[in-house]
Amino acid sequence: MSQSSERAVRLPADLHARPAGLLSRTAAGFEAKVTFATLAKEVDARSVLSVMALGAREGSEVTVRATGRDAQAAVERLSAMLEVITPIEPAAPAQSEDSPAPALD
């Protein structure tokens, strides 16, 4: 008999490209079929493009569902990863060629 497990997580930040890639690679390491779901849609967790297309924003609830031999482990690991997503850090402003280099005291 196939195991199944699910857990809902409230996102601390938007689900952007970097964590989507990490989540997809992690999901691919499990035998279980894993999905992420919001109220609007459910996607295959192994597809980085699908995970990004989920459009999950800070404060939204994402449900991790898995079915298969290692379903419980998959849900636990991926839920833990979703709980610690950090916001995108703004890029440092580009330094113009006219600006002097900072001192290296």
* Per-domain residue ranges of the chain: 4-83
Structure tokens at 62: 């994402």
Does pLDDT of 73 surpass 80?
yes
CATH number of 4-83: 3.30.1340.10
Out of 4, 16, 26, 38, pick the active-site residue. Answer: 16
Does pLDDT of 1 surpass 60?
no
pLDDT digits (tens, 9 = 90+) for 12-33: 999 999 999 999 999 999 999 9
Short-list 47, 45, 41, 49, CA closest to 82: 45
Surface-to-core class of residue 34, CB atoms within 10 Å of its CB (0-12 exposed, 13-18 middle, 19+ buried): buried
Report the 10 Å Cβ neighbour count for 36: 25
38 included as an active-site residue: no
Average pLDDT of span 49-78: 96
pTM passes above 0.85 = no
